[in-house]
Amino acid sequence: MTCRLLAALFTAAGLSALCSCSVVPQVGRAFGGHGSYWRDTGSGGTARMEVDLNRQIASFYRGKNKVGVAAISSGDERHRTPDGTYRILEKIRDKYSTRYGHVEDAHGRVVNRDATPGSRVPRGGRYVPAPMPYWMRLTWSGIGMHQGFLPGYAASHGCIRMDKKVVRQFYNAAYVGMKVKVTGG
């Protein structure tokens, strides 16, 4: 049985602590976004984010005060999200991937869920780039944070997908040049 399958089974059963797999969310409430919140009361201090890849959560701080938590899905085993301390390089509200998407046939049915711009497209079909709303770039090589699907484990191509319930608040409070520390990869 694969680690990912074990992770899904244990998490569904509420037993995530029993699996040593790094893909199991260690914060049960964060699984599926249930533990995400934003409670900014206007506290002072320098804004920063911390991303814990082991627990699959991102936290937003103002000084020492944690004002927000977002469930995430980081890079999978083939596309690991790199540890490090970054600065937000750019923000784009409505961004689309230049590397990944899906292919639809002439009837609009998805025929390739993990496509790239050079993927084969059936006659009458089309390539559709993946939406990445609330994009916050961390590296010029393409790693960033954005709204995305949260299956409960690391499943992206390297980006940090964030819970749609709070990503807008993270995006609005973040600024170009803000520090983002990524650990646990």
CB 110 within 8 A of CB 104: yes
Give the closest residue to 72 by CA, choosing from 131, 30, 23, 126: 30
pLDDT, mean of residues 78-90:
97
34 pLDDT band, cuts 50/70/90, is low
How confident is the model at residue 169, as a pLDDT?
A: 98
> Could you give all domains of the chain from N- to C-terminal order, each with its CATH number?
23-183 (2.40.440.10)
In this predicted structure, the answer to whether residue 3 has a pLDDT above a threshold of 90 is no
Q: In sequence order, which residues have a C-beta less than 8 Å from that of residue 9 and are 6 or more positions away? A: none
In this predicted structure, the answer to whether residue 7 has a pLDDT above a threshold of 70 is no
- The two structure tokens encoding residue 21: 């797999």
CA distances to 57, 85, 110, 165 from 81, rounded to whole Å, are 13, 12, 27, 22
